[in-house]
Amino acid sequence: MIRVDKKKPFHALKDGKFFLMIIPSKSLFFKTAIIYAFVTIFNVAIFIIMVFENQLDLIADNAIMNSKLTGSNLKYRIDKILGPAGDITVVNINKILKEANALGIKDLTVFNEEGDVFVDIKDNKPTAKQKADVNDLRMINMAITKRGFEDKLFFHTVHKKTHTIDLYIPFTFGDEKIGIAFITLLMQDIDRQMSYLYRQCAVIAALIILLHIAFAWLFSKMILLPLRKLNEATEKIAGGDLDIRVQIVRDDEIGQLATSFNEMSVALRRMRDEAKGSNPLTGLPGNITIANYLDECLQHNRFICVLYCDLDNFKAYNDKYGFTKGDDAILYTRDCLQSVAKRKDLKNVFVGHEGGDDFVVVCDFEYWEEFAKAFITIFDRGIYQFYNSIDARNGFIESVNRRGERQRFPLMSVSVAVVTNKTRPFTRHAEMIQVAAEVKKVVKGIDGSCYAIDRRKGPVSQADGAIPTAPQAAAMAAAAPQNQPMPQRQPLRPPG
């Protein structure tokens, strides 16, 4: 039993195996094949008709010319026999019959202009015909008229069915009398030439069909089959197979389409992988994507800075204003980071979200401080919108701490801990995360929005990761004047 696989409409399957090629009637392949078949038949028919008619006319003209040549010879010989004033006598008639027989003429009738018959020979045998019939009289008059007004040597009619030609040849005898020699000639070799014409037309038709088949194969290979491959690949992608690739390597538009298709499938796979690890709230790349991106940068020996951005006093805000407002604050932080990342003077900036109120930014080493300052400026400028007027004016909120005690908490700020492989070698992302956690502990100890970069040198040791002592903290946060952590922030006041 044959069943058609609807997902692959070009294939019929028998017992799960390829059995037969099926072309759906709605497919472009089928429609093109039908149209092309009609065009091929039309072209063959038109070409054959043109060639046949042209060659048939040539064959007929050639046969007529040969017959006319015979008629001209007969007229010349009749005129020679009769002379200037010769009459139709038995002797002259015998001479005319002899000359006609020499020219291969088997049918000959000699009339006068009134239609009286001097002699009638059919197939070299005399007949008893005495008078011309109506058709003969009409042809005699036509021959005499053609001679008088158009100076024609004779008048002829062609019978295509019998492949014969009738010649009515006027001549002068006696005292300016007019006689007519009527002969019927078989057009020589016309059957053989027609047979050759049929073979010629058949060969031409075959060549045209082969040419069209070759063109159809080329068109199918260059256009239809690549489109079919792209269609099948699209169906596989729609089914979730993002590893599919179209193996079409060409320099034309089809090749460009295949290249774009493969790039699209790669992008879709990357987006799917990123979506698996993206944060459901912010939509930013999550832990898996962040880790893969860091490892990729380290493998390519790219000098980068990793900025771990953490919200200060976020738990207190969340406890007082609720989770919905807390989510709004998280989204606001995301928007601030993306706004800075899109600046034209900053390049190759990656923004991720580890979860909660922790964000990760990866940028080139030369841009880290400019990014940190711009981010803090934008964040501090708009954070008031998440507080009521009293809390914004006071610069703090009252909430319950982890010990269940009432406590005043400053407005939310951001702490940015910066780690770089410019001054310290890292081989994998876990090492950078470990060092960043140390730096974050230092930055979190400073009130207000601030940033600090790890200035230590040398490989990461097992001692890294412990709670830093005061001298260690100073070494981590120590920097040149332009890299000093921002000074302690005074309580924020709302604008106006």
| DSSP assignments along 204-226, one per residue | HHHHHHHHHHHHHHHHIIIIIHH
Specify the residue for token string 């020219």: 103
Residue of higher predicted confidence among 276 and 424:
424
190 pLDDT tier (thresholds 50, 70, 90): low
Phi, psi of 363 (to 5 degrees): -145, 170
Cβ-contact 351, 449 below 8 angstroms: no
Q: Which pLDDT belongs to residue 265?
A: 82
- pLDDT at 62 exceeding the cut of 80: no
> In Å, how far are 271, 344, 378, 419 from 341, measured between CA atoms?
19, 8, 12, 18
Count the alpha carbons within 13 Å of 486 in the hemisphere toward its beta carbon.
21
What percentage of residues in the chain have a pLDDT greater than 90?
A: 30
Checking if the pLDDT of 310 tops 90, the result is yes
Distance CA 165, CA 154 (A): 12
Quick one: which of 223, 171, 239, 327 has its CA closest to 6?
A: 239
Average of per-residue pLDDT across 406-432? 92
What is the pLDDT at residue 19? 41
Residue 286 CB coordination number (10 Å): 21
**What confidence category does residue 321 fall into, taking pLDDT thresholds of 50, 70 and 90?**
very high
Place of tokens 């197939």: 123
Of the CA atoms within 13 Å of residue 170, those in its CB half-sphere come to: 23
Lowest mean pLDDT, pick from 188-192, 240-244, 485-489: 485-489
- The arithmetic mean of pLDDT across residues 413-436, rounded, is 92
Global pTM reads 0.48
CATH architecture of 31-188: 2-Layer Sandwich (3.30)
Please tell me the distance from the alpha carbon of residue 33 to that of residue 49, in angstroms, as a whole number. 24
Fold match between domain 31-188 and domain 281-483:
no
Helix (H/G/I), strand (E/B), else coil: 105: coil
Q: Are 246 and 258 in contact (CB under 8 A)?
A: yes
Taking the C-alpha atoms of residue 259 and residue 244, their distance in angstroms, rounded to an integer, is 12
Fold (CATH) for 281-483: Alpha-Beta Plaits (3.30.70)
* 183-192, 245-254, 352-361, 485-494: range with highest mean pLDDT: 352-361
3-state secondary structure of 189: coil
Q: Dihedral through CA 84, CA 89, CA 95, CA 97, nearest 10?
A: 120
Is 286 within 8 Å of 278 (Cβ atoms)?
A: yes
Six-digit token string for 368: 């880290």
Q: What is the pLDDT of residue 32?
A: 76
Structural domain boundaries in the chain: 31-188, 281-483
Distance CA 413, CA 167 (A): 120
> What is the rounded CA–CA span in Å between residue 353 and residue 281?
10
> How many residues make up the chain in this entry?
496
Tell me, rounded to whole angstroms, the distance of Cα 333 from its chain centroid: 45
Q: Which parts of 259-395 are beta strand (E)?
A: 304-312, 350-355, 358-364
Per the model's pLDDT, the better-predicted residue between 270 and 204 turns out to be 204
Q: In whole angstroms, what is the distance from residue 99 CA to residue 117 CA?
A: 19
